[in-house]
Structure 1
Amino acid sequence: MKFLIVFALALAVVSADVPVHPKDLPASGVPEGRITNGKTATAGQIPYQVGLSFSSSSGGWWCGGSLIESTVVLTAAHCTSGASAVTVYLGATQRTNPKQSFTVNSSNFRQHSSYNSLTLSNDISIIIIPAVSLSSDINTVALPAVASSYSTYSGDNAMASGWGLTSDKATAVSSNLQYATLKVIDNSVCQKTYGSLTVTSKTICTATTDATSTCSGDSGGPLVLSSSKVLIGVTSFVSSKGCESGNPAGFVRVTSYLDWIKANSK
């Protein structure tokens, strides 16, 4: 598992904490697990959820993603970065028991050309896959309308999902898809923890009340607005102090990349 280099820029030192991609948290002895303190999803409850098993010459890692078209998966750039191939799991609640799966190589990745692993900016990628058969277990999630591009979503509830770790000290693997409802907070609040170089207008942050948060293994997964079932975020970072630290969780703001998504979904 790759580890993120902590900010070297002096301007970034504006808080007592630093953000890290969930998959770059120190290993706890297991490769995957679930969202911390989440609930278990039922079959067909989150049909847009995708599981992604990446491989490279230096090892492998697990991420999540969202099916936005029958041939397009949206995920995080820090998930595709350095990978040579990925196995895509669709329609799974049990992680290793998908309804459909495909393996594609890195030529099918559309990683944002301006992704920066130091500032965590532009942490977004697309994976092109063979067309899937849509059903009650496998279906797409709607993208936000262009008209909502200036919405902050602050105060709204949104659902995050994935197979990330159950806790910072997890010692066993859970194979079941998990989800949690998180409240979106204002970016000005999130900047008090991570600073303005990381938390920009292209970021969404959520509170992690009662130690409920995304964690290692959830990277690249969806954040979906509870009221409209629209995809508003891609899981990007958590606190270096751990998923149960109580510090905000960070997501790529999908509305900031609608043009990029359209251009790279062809």
Structure 2
Amino acid sequence: MDICYRFLILTISQIYLILQIVFENIYYNSWLIFEMKFIIFLGLTNLVCGINLSETFRNSAFGYHARVGIPLAERIQRDENNYFNSRIVGGVPAVAGQYPFKAGLIGDIIGFDGVSVCGGSLIHPSKVATAAHCWNDGENQAWRFTVVLGSSLLFSGGTRLASSVVVAHPDWNPNSVQNDVAVIYLTYEVETSSIITPIALPSGPELFENFKGEAAIAIGFGITSNDNGISSNQFLSHVRLTVISNNICNLVFPFILQASNICTSGFGFIGTCGGDSGGPLITYRNNEPILIGIASFGSALGCEIGLPSAYSRATSYVDFFNQHLKQ
């Protein structure tokens, strides 16, 4: 089954990559139609190979810490150490102030010696927005976050604050991935600067936008591919994506996707990857970034298969965030 699966997925991937050249300059709706066909074809591939579709497209947020976060933390820390040991020939990190609202999260998990990794967004000098599954993934519970601000590396540099005051959405459901948002209370208000600055939440007319078809940017400390670790050009890793409709995204995540989610296309084999959970999806208004999504879940097939990534839609949780900004 594994050989069948890998061969067919590889075949589809190669076809998809070739056709990307044909579709990349065509009107947005045209290549979205192709992406729909790809998703359907991928489903048929899984059926031919006898693979359980529910497992293939399962909720990747449930059990995140043991399956992704903790192994990835070890990997990132090891690769950062290797980077410093060879930094003369390894290049230099990106400028830390490129995304001054980006927060890295190192989580201490109850019952584990190792730590887990996630992302977040500074939305107030003393508040960070993240995914609820970074705090409690349905199987394991974090008891403390180390919040990293103003650094292009996760395990060194920047302003680092420990916090155990985390409030998940009261209706957070790890099984259905509904309401996957949380707020971290910092121990004090950080001093803002060119490398540490909160990002704005949607407001006014933006609250009624669905952002479909818009260019967006996802940012994270996570890996840049299924097989690669940290590289010299990965620091403050970001990827430009296109927001797609929930109707298309629902083909990949049936029964899981909600109106309170927002999705980006995986066209071109791009999207969020391991360790990006809780991190920001942003777009721009009047040349200023606004937070439109919090990275929530993706396909269990990995981050390079070309399928959509799903986020908690920021406009659906503005009231929740604002409630905590007032405290």
* Structure with the bigger percentage of helix: 2
CA RMSD of aligned residues (A): 2.4
Deviation at 1:198, TM superposition (A): 1.8
CA distance in 2, matches of 1:100, 1:15: 39
- Higher deviation after alignment, 250-259 or 161-170: 161-170
- Higher deviation after alignment, 147-156 or 230-239: 147-156
Q: Give the counterpart letter for 1:118 in structure 2.
A: N
The structure number with the bigger radius of gyration is 2
Q: Give the counterpart letter for 1:166 in structure 2.
A: T
CA distance in 2, matches of 1:80, 1:61: 10
Q: Give the counterpart letter for 1:94 in structure 2.
A: L
Deviation at 1:173, TM superposition (A): 3.7
Helix, strand or coil: the match of 1:251?
strand
Helix, strand or coil: the match of 2:321?
helix
The residue aligned with 2:59 is 19
CA distance in 1, matches of 2:65, 2:248: 24
The residue aligned with 1:45 is 98
The counterpart of 2:250, out of the listed 191, 196, 203, is: 191
Matching of residues 1-266 of structure 1 within 5 Å: 17-21=57-61, 23=64, 26-27=67-68, 30-31=72-73, 33=76, 41-59=94-112, 60-81=115-136, 82-105=141-164, 108-129=165-186, 130-170=188-228, 172-174=229-231, 176-195=235-254, 197-227=255-285, 228-265=288-325, 266=327
Structure 2 unmatched ranges of 5 or more: 1-52, 80-92
Q: Percent identity?
A: 32
Aligned residues: 245
Q: Higher relative contact order by CA 8 Å / sep ≥ 6: 1 or 2? A: 1
Deviation at 1:15, TM superposition (A): 10
Deviation at 1:208, TM superposition (A): 1.5
The residue aligned with 2:6 is none
CA distance in 2, matches of 1:209, 1:75: 25
Structure 1 unmatched ranges of 5 or more: 1-12, 35-39
Give the alignment's TM-score, normalised by structure 2: 0.70
Give the alignment's TM-score, normalised by structure 1: 0.85
Conservation of the 8 A alpha-carbon contact between 1:146 and 1:255 = no
Q: Give the counterpart letter for 2:198 in structure 1.
A: T
Conservation of the 8 A alpha-carbon contact between 1:237 and 1:250 = yes
Helix, strand or coil: the match of 1:84?
strand
